[in-house]
């Protein structure tokens, strides 16, 4: 009979199936020949002691036990070419998983995406990196797969509904993701692997009768008697449907402005904002693993840190071990940073957003913008950074210790941020209260992580797109907008998710509620 065990082993044993089998045979006092197979159910790193260990939860199959490799299959999708139609605006994780769920439920999704398909986006990413040209419809935030496709593919979520999380992870595996994402404590696909998975999801949507429209931007939502009737695209085309899942992401400012203009209720929402800090990965390894060299069996070390400074949370966000910093502006005249890692996390640098929680009262200088006050606060910082760095896609940058001491850095070394940097005193970028919190917070970070507080770390500003600055309110039961029947605010852009997995879960939830309402 299979036996479930909890183990703590060296990284070398965890990485080698034969060594693990030998270790297990000694632990449970059986011959290694009696062990047919070891399934790893969960894997995490314990770096609390000087000797780093790997925690494993395993299921051991002995000779004679029934064992077969787990194959994750896609659901029984239905042909929906002639089924009732639902418009899905946005082809990020919320929109794509909403579309898949609609097909499973026998409804036809019409997915409308302002950006290009996942391959076509690459030219526009090169243009922003090399030529400093921002395409407002195709960039790191907009296009097939959404913001996560080319900015990391991290799958960690704080969602408490494990069943929902496992379903999304299993679907991703069925579409080609490595099964490791079902096992690792902080699963990650990688920016180099995610595009093919996204493309395969789109192929499946079309195969079963759904539609996917690229380079199609929604410029109006048709509403009659407080009920959705359809949408208008940028070329004047009207697409009719009485159900609309709005999954446009946290950076679709034109959608927030459209809703505000049409007097469809939206609310200002607090978010977090700060800088993206880059360290040598070897330094983070030495801090986290308490060693000079991590060796071949440990992955590049991540870190997570939280401090309270002057009554505000200051914390690491979207930490990318072995990764790079990317330009994520969505309009000319602004600069925005984000980070990503390839699947192997094999770059020489580590970066993380280091952000401070904002409060609604911080947006008072922009009160005239009403529900868009937080968005305008965010926009003002991005535009100021663009101006200070030279009005290209270069970003303002400063050495970490210099920043805390209010000194302009005399030199900035080459960083992973391809468009380049300009030495700026970052206090000029941010409001005074935010600058002060970050200066004090970084000093505190250094006390918790010995070696973190160094001028070898370079701060890039701003990290401003942590979450949506707007919430589109919805009924807790029906998930429809409080005011407009048939409108389902969904995912990060509506303020109901924070990352690939939670956005995908919310997309499925909205699709289920949409189907119930037919």
The domain total for the chain is 3
Average pLDDT score over the chain: 95
Helix (H, G, I), strand (E, B) or coil at 344: coil
Tell me how far apart the alpha carbons of residues 416 and 308 are, in angstroms, rounded to a whole number.
Answer: 29
Please check whether residue 71 lies inside any domain of the structure.
no
The residue behind tokens 């996560």 is 148
Tell me how far apart the alpha carbons of residues 93 and 172 are, in angstroms, rounded to a whole number.
Answer: 11
Are residue 136 and residue 227 in the same domain, yes or no? yes
Are residue 176 and residue 320 in the same domain, yes or no? no
Are residue 284 and residue 421 in the same domain, yes or no? yes
Please check whether residue 75 lies inside any domain of the structure.
no
DSSP string, 232-299: EETTS-EEE-S-EEE---TT-HHHHHHHHHTT---EE---EEEEEEEEEHHHHHHHHHSSS---SSSP
How many CB atoms neighbour CB 140 within 10 A? 28
Contact present, 57 and 80 (Cβ < 8 Å): no
How many CB atoms neighbour CB 236 within 10 A? 8
Put simply, whether the predicted model's pTM sits higher than 0.85 gets the answer yes
pLDDT of 159 reads 64
Region class of 225: left (phi > 0), else alpha (psi between -120 and 50), else beta: left
Beta bridge partners of 327: 337
CATH number at residue 103: 3.50.50.60
Tell me how far apart the alpha carbons of residues 277 and 275 are, in angstroms, rounded to a whole number.
Answer: 6
Tell me how far apart the alpha carbons of residues 71 and 118 are, in angstroms, rounded to a whole number.
Answer: 27
Contact present, 329 and 459 (Cβ < 8 Å): no
Contact present, 135 and 129 (Cβ < 8 Å): no
Are residue 456 and residue 509 in the same domain, yes or no? no
Are residue 366 and residue 225 in the same domain, yes or no? no
Please check whether residue 448 lies inside any domain of the structure.
yes
Tell me how far apart the alpha carbons of residues 92 and 97 are, in angstroms, rounded to a whole number.
Answer: 8
Tell me how far apart the alpha carbons of residues 95 and 252 are, in angstroms, rounded to a whole number.
Answer: 14
Tell me how far apart the alpha carbons of residues 19 and 408 are, in angstroms, rounded to a whole number.
Answer: 53
CA dihedral over 200, 108, 117, 322, signed as positive or negative? negative
Tell me how far apart the alpha carbons of residues 474 and 257 are, in angstroms, rounded to a whole number.
Answer: 18
Per DSSP, 130 falls in state I
Tokens of 31: 């011959």
Are residue 390 and residue 458 in the same domain, yes or no? yes
pLDDT of 201 reads 97
Are residue 171 and residue 144 in the same domain, yes or no? yes
Please check whether residue 212 lies inside any domain of the structure.
yes
Are residue 192 and residue 247 in the same domain, yes or no? yes
Please check whether residue 198 lies inside any domain of the structure.
yes
Please check whether residue 333 lies inside any domain of the structure.
yes
Are residue 417 and residue 512 in the same domain, yes or no? no
Are residue 474 and residue 444 in the same domain, yes or no? no
CA dihedral over 277, 327, 281, 177, signed as positive or negative? positive
Please check whether residue 326 lies inside any domain of the structure.
yes
- Tens digit of each residue's pLDDT (9 = 90 or more) over 23-67: 999 999 999 999 999 999 999 999 988 899 999 999 999 999 998
Per-residue pLDDT in tens (0 to 9) along the chain, 518 residues: 899 999 999 999 999 999 999 999 999 999 999 999 999 999 999 998 889 999 999 999 999 999 888 888 899 999 999 999 999 999 999 999 999 999 999 999 999 999 999 999 999 999 999 999 999 999 999 999 998 777 666 787 766 666 689 999 999 999 999 999 999 988 888 777 888 999 999 999 999 999 999 999 999 999 999 999 999 999 999 999 999 999 999 999 999 999 999 999 999 999 999 999 999 999 999 999 998 889 899 999 999 999 999 999 999 999 999 999 999 999 999 999 999 888 888 999 999 999 999 999 999 999 999 999 999 999 999 999 999 999 999 999 999 999 999 999 999 999 999 999 999 999 999 999 999 999 999 999 999 999 999 999 999 999 999 999 999 999 999 999 999 999 999 999 999 998 899 999 999 999 999 999 99
Domain extent, residue 22, equals 3-62
pLDDT of 191 reads 72
Are residue 496 and residue 406 in the same domain, yes or no? no
- Number of helices (H), then strands (E), belonging to the chain: the values are 13, 22
Please check whether residue 282 lies inside any domain of the structure.
yes
Contact present, 213 and 107 (Cβ < 8 Å): no
CATH number at residue 48: 3.30.70
Tell me how far apart the alpha carbons of residues 373 and 300 are, in angstroms, rounded to a whole number.
Answer: 39
Are residue 133 and residue 35 in the same domain, yes or no? no
Q: How buried is 348 (Cβ within 10 angstroms: 0-12 exposed, 13-18 middle, 19+ buried)?
A: exposed
Q: At residue 13, what are phi and psi to the nearest 5 degrees?
A: -65, -40
Per DSSP, 507 falls in state H
The residue behind tokens 């309402």 is 517
């Amino acid at each position: 009979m299979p036996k479930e065990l909890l183990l703590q082993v060296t990284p070398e044993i965890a990485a080698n199936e034969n060594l693990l089998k030998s270790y297990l045979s000694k632990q449970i006092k059986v011959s290694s020949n009696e062990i047919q197979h070891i399934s790893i159910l969960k894997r995490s790193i314990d770096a609390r002691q000087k000797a780093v260990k790997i925690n494993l939860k395993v299921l051991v199959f002995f000779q004679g036990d029934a064992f077969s490799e787990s194959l994750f299959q896609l659901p029984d999708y239905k042909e929906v070419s002639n089924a009732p139609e639902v418009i899905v605006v946005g082809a990020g994780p919320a929109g794509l998983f909403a579309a898949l769920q609609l097909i499973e439920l026998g409804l036809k999704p019409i997915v409308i995406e302002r950006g290009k398909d996942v391959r076509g986006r690459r030219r526009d990413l090169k243009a922003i990196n090399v030529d400093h040209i921002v395409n407002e419809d195709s960039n790191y935030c907009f296009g097939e797969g959404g913001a996560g496709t080319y900015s990391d593919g991290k799958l960690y979520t704080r969602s408490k509904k494990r069943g929902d999380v496992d379903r999304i992870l299993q679907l991703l595996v069925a579409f080609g993701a490595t099964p490791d994402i079902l096992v690792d404590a902080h699963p990650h696909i990688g920016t180099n692997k995610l595009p093919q998975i996204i493309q395969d999801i789109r192929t499946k949507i079309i195969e079963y009768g759904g539609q996917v429209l690229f380079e199609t931007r929604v410029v109006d939502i048709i509403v009659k008697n407080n009920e959705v009737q359809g949408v208008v695209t940028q070329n004047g085309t009207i697409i009719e449907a009485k159900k609309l899942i709005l999954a446009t992401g946290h950076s679709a400012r034109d959608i927030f402005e459209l809703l505000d203009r049409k007097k469809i209720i939206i609310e200002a929402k607090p978010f977090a904002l700060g800088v993206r800090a880059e360290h040598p990965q070897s330094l983070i390894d030495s801090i986290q693993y308490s060693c000079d060299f991590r060796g071949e069996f440990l992955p590049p070390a991540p870190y997570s840190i939280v401090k309270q400074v002057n009554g505000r949370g200051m914390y690491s966000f979207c930490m990318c071990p072995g990764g790079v910093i990317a330009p994520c502006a969505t309009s000319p005249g602004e600069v925005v940073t984000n980070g990503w890692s390839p699947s192997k996390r094999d770059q020489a640098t580590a970066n993380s957003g280091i952000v401070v929680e904002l409060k609604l009262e911080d947006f008072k200088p922009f009160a005239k913008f009403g529900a868009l006050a937080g968005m305008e606060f965010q926009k003002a910082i991005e535009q100021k950074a663009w101006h200070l760095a030279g009005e290209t896609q270069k970003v303002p940058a400063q050495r970490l210790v210099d920043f805390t001491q209010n000194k302009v850095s005399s030199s900035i070394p080459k960083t992973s941020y391809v468009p380049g940097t300009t030495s700026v005193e970052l206090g000029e970028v941010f409001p005074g209260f935010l600058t002060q919190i970050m200066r004090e917070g970084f000093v505190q970070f250094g006390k918790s992580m010995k070696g973190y507080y160094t001028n070898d770390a370079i701060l890039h500003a701003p990290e401003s797109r942590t979450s949506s600055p707007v919430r589109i309110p919805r009924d807790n039961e029906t998930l429809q907008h409080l005011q407009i029947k048939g409108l389902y605010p969904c995912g990060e852009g509506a303020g109901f998710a924070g990352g690939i997995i939670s956005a995908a879960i919310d997309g499925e939830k909205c699709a289920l509620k949409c189907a119930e309402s037919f």
